[in-house]
A and B are shown apart, each in its own frame.
Chain A
Amino acid sequence: MSSARIVNLTKRFGETTALEDFDLEVSDGEVLVLLGPSGCGKTTLLRSVAGLEQPDAGEIYLKDELVFSRERNISVPPYKRRVGMVFQNYALWPHMNVFNNIAYPLRIKKSPKTEVRRRVREMMELVQLEGLEERYPHELSGGQQQRAALARALVMEPRLSLLDEPLSNLDAKLREELRDELKRIQRDTRVTTIYVTHDQAEAMALADRLGVMEPGKLIQLGPPMEVYEKPQTEFVARFIGASNLLSGEVRDQDGQRLLQLGRGLGLPLPWSLPLSNGPALVAIRPEEIIITRNGPGLLAKVKSVTYLGNAIEYRLVVGGIELRARTGPGEIYTVGEQVFMRIDRATPLAPRRVRARRHGGDPRRDPPVR
């Protein structure tokens, strides 16, 4: 059963289109993570579902109730949608203590006093804030504020909870800790969740399904592993992880399959790739490049070495193009050294003709690092 269904949603702000013909279906109890760069419309989508924005076209269903339809002129106000929302900056009410913040949705519903107290205690236990009832938001750490905001969103047993970059204001260590907490809380409550972030690791860790957004559009939706391993477009490949993106001609030569990159440079690819001869765009993750001292492989020169602790990242120059490679902390090569490299695995992408030729074709351009 679907918990939320978004059909053909379009929202414009003046000249810019935040969402265009956007479709999405969220199943009951699932965590759907939308991943995308800032300004891609993910926040607009959450706000539209919550009723805080009025889209220009399309429909929104929550548990089969039509809550928004431009065509039929329906727009259920936010306070009747029963949707829990957590904002990036938590938006705790500074003039209420933690207890009152969390109790607010219940008091609006006019729940009896004992019920309010019981539910708030329950929620505070769930998010592990016991004992902090009397504190005011400014007396809480960032992580505690975040937990309180979550408790407030969940206390009314929403049909859907919407989380807008809830961890992005926290430092790295706390972010990981809270990410695992969120996962646990979601498992305990089974509340259907749409979670929006621009952090790839967060998205991977939390998602049952992961949607990658490009401005205005959802370009790939699927289980996180599938999205990671089989990015369908160059944009997804770039956004989901630091990939080398190479475009060239695939051809067979001397029993080898080569990706001809021009200037006489042919990069051998594994036969297992579903590729046919002709123009192709291929994503190669840094960890999919194998470096050795003795071959086999193409001769490459180490241009830079970055020690990352659990891994080492290299920039290699092969016949005038630069590739990013990552190895385990075992053997260390030095700058200027001649090494052999070969490609272990790679992902063929469906190139969007024009863009792939113009932007994706030049591997010397630095791919974005996430």
Chain B
Amino acid sequence: MVTGIAGASLLLFVAYPLSLLLFHSVKSDGKLTVASYLKAFTDRQNVVALGNSLYVSLAVTLLAVLIGVGMAWLITRTDLPFKRGFRGLIFLTFVTPPYIGTIGWIQLFGRAGYVNAALMRCFHLSSPPIELYSLEGIIAVMAIYLYPLVFWPTASALERTDPALEDAAASSGGTRWRVLTTITLPLASPSILSAAILVFIHTISCFAVAAALGLPTRHYVLATRIYAALSHYDVQMACALSVVLVLLSGGAFLLQRALLGRGRYTTATSGSTRPEPVELGRLRLPVTIFLSVFTLFTAILPLLTIFSTSLLKAWGLPLALGNLSWGNYLAILQSRLIESALRNSLIFATLAASAAALLSFVVAYISARTRLAGRGFLDLIATFPLAIPGPVLATAMILAWMRPPLVLYNTPWIIILAYIVAFTPFALRNLSGSLRAIDPALEEVAWASGASWLRGLKDILLPLLRPEILKSWILVFLMSLREIPLSLMLHTQGTETVGVVLFSFRETIGVEAISALAVIVILITLAGHLIAGKLGGELEVGR
């Protein structure tokens, strides 16, 4: 019965809206046609956007893999100092919402940003030398926030690799470089490949950073083109572009799923000791300095900038003690808009997190603990939104819920529902792994002891899974709290969220106030991760 409800709601709330997307992209005056695709790709801007999307995604993937794998190797396998410090900074980058980071980067490298201003002053330039509002700017910012997605799995794969395998290669006469390229990295390659695909999906789906850095100079990617099409009420175009985008991200998603299904190389069982760390020798100092500058710069600097801006009495004033105050915080807490946005976000995030935790538990239970037909399909539908970019999901939601019988459009519910659909996959991934790690015999022995199924669930499984459920809840809560494209495209007057305010009200309420709000979001995020850390393990936040 529960299965039926879970299956039906997934079909209704996930599969149905997405299929509408496809339907609307090929329907014109009641006939099936590919006209909308032809139209979409005779528009040069769309072709350029598609090219840009691929360029940005591939470049970010390449950069993220280079940085992530390089740092993972340096931190796990060499005599690099301050390893814990580096890990901490990478973690900070990892948990910083990319759009919030972007706010910081704009304050640093925007046309009127601190760095450009300083350079112009120093070298007497007439125009800002660094152009952040460009595809390359998008690539740089995205790569910074996505390389940790490669770093963590690669580092843990390198740590799990049986050192005996490398010792064997070294004693067969392999040089250090040969061992690295023929043994160490190939062994970690399934993890690296899977992480690279994840980065690709995240980049091609990413809206907020691409919009913030691309729209001012009319550099479009597919995700922002869909947003633009919908802003011009060109639903058919939005649908056609959405289908194209989902083909790319969904294809990558299915590829990754297939790779994961094939499993990884079995590693570390021989119990041999850690290998001697590779000595960096003369390179140790320069590498350390370079890494310190890079991680401090990428992790701390934007946050520091946002924080100091949030204390400024007015944007543009130099950072001097006399110009600082807590005034912006008081102001935003008194602003009716921000107060209602914060309240909305907290309520939506709470509801979405609770629903997603429940739904993901049900789906995880069905797929891990039962032999019901269709459980694999259930899991696939629940996970697939991982590959649905925000603007696409928003378009699908509008199509599905703007007409009777169930009109959710222009209500808070459409936003909450969109959060649930979008973020359940993250909760599910977290929960189903943990659920599979719990021996089914623990429940079975409870049943044999006289406990009914429900009693076994209450006494055994739920208590054992509680930390993981809580973590999933926090995960969805944090992701909802800072969500941008869904809120942006689905909100109406009165249902603005924090993301909407951060994204579209910069001009209205000022950079200082936006920064203060951003600091609040960062603090909540850090608190969430701190609690999750106490529960054990780290959260794998989506982007």
Contacts and interface: CB of A to CB of B under 8 A. Distances in A.
B339 interface: no
Contact of B444 (A78, A94, A156): A78
A84 B447 CA distance: 10
Interface string A75-97: 00111111111010101011100
A104 B463 contact: no
A77 B441 contact: no
B444 A105 contact: no
Contacts of A77: 447, 452-453
A152 B463 CA distance: 19
B439 interface: yes
Contacts, number: 65
Contacts of A369: none
Contacts of B463: 95
Given A93-B442, A104-B459, A156 B447 contact: no
B442 A79 contact: no
B445 A85 contact: yes
Contacts of B446: 93, 104
Nearest to A50: B448
Nearest to B455: A108
Contact of A95 (B444, B447, B451, B464): B464
Contacts of A79: 447-453, 455
Contacts of A248: none
B448 A81 contact: yes
Contacts of A108: 449-451, 455
A52 B443 CA distance: 10
Interface string B288-332: 000000000000000000000000000000000000000000000
B117 interface: no
Contact of B449 (A52, A89, A156): A156
Contact of A91 (B445, B450, B452): B445
B464 A78 contact: no
Interface residues of B, number: 18
A335 B39 CA distance: 89
A108 B452 CA distance: 9
Contacts of B460: 93
Contact of B447 (A51, A89, A94): A51
Interface string A175-194: 00000000000000000000
Given A104-B459, A108-B455, A91 B449 contact: no
B423 to A, nearest CB: 28
Contact of B450 (A52, A82, A95): A82
A12 B451 CA distance: 27
A82 B449 CA distance: 7
A42 B459 CA distance: 29
Interface-central residue, A51, A81, A108, by most chain B CB under 10 Å: A108
B448 A89 contact: no
A51 B445 CA distance: 11
A51 B446 CA distance: 12
Contacts of B444: 50, 52, 78, 85, 87, 91
Contacts of A104: 446, 449, 451, 459
B447 A78 contact: yes
Contacts of B459: 104
B466 to A, nearest CB: 9
Contacts of B448: 50-52, 78-79, 81, 83-85, 153
A109 interface: yes
B451 A89 contact: no
A2 to B, nearest CB: 21
Nearest to B456: A79
Nearest to B371: A13
Interface in A2-28: none
A169 to B, nearest CB: 13
Which among A52, A80, A84, A156 has the highest number of chain B CB atoms within 10 Å?
A52
Contacts of B450: 79-80, 82, 105, 108-109, 156
Given A51-B447, A104-B446, A104-B459, A87 B464 contact: no
A89 B441 contact: yes
Most buried by B among A80, A82, A104, A109: A104
A91 B447 contact: no
Nearest to A158: B448
Interface in B388-443: 439, 441-442
Interface string A89-118: 101011100000000110011000000000
Contacts of A83: 448
A73 B448 CA distance: 21
B442 A91 contact: yes
Interface in A275-327: none
Interface in A136-191: 149, 152-153, 156
A105 B450 CA distance: 6
B447 A87 contact: no
Contacts of A89: 439, 441
Contacts of A78: 444, 447-448
A152 B441 contact: no
Nearest to A164: B441
Contacts of A51: 447-448
A300 to B, nearest CB: 42
Q: Give the one of B445, B451, B460 with max A CB within 10 A.
A: B445
Contact of A52 (B447, B451, B452, B455): B447
B436 to A, nearest CB: 15
Nearest to A52: B444
A149 to B, nearest CB: 8
Nearest to B464: A95
A84 B450 CA distance: 9
Contacts of A152: 445, 449
A355 to B, nearest CB: 34
User: Which among A82, A89, A95 has the highest number of chain B CB atoms within 10 Å?
Assistant: A95
A312 to B, nearest CB: 34
Contacts of B439: 89, 91
Nearest to B448: A85
A82 B441 CA distance: 17
A144 to B, nearest CB: 17
B462 to A, nearest CB: 10
Contacts of B442: 91, 93-94
A83 B4 CA distance: 31
A156 B447 CA distance: 13
A81 B449 CA distance: 9
B498 to A, nearest CB: 37
Contacts of B451: 79, 104, 108
A50 B447 CA distance: 9
A108 B449 CA distance: 8
B460 to A, nearest CB: 6
19 contacts: A77-B453, A79-B449, A79-B455, A81-B448, A84-B449, A85-B445, A87-B441, A91-B441, A91-B442, A93-B460, A94-B442, A95-B464, A104-B449, A105-B449, A108-B451, A108-B455, A109-B450, A152-B445, A156-B450
Given A95-B464, A152-B449, 7 more contacts: A50-B444, A89-B441, A93-B442, A95-B463, A108-B450, A108-B451, A109-B450
5 smallest CB-CB distances across A and B, nearest first, come from A91-B441, A105-B449, A78-B447, A85-B448, A108-B450
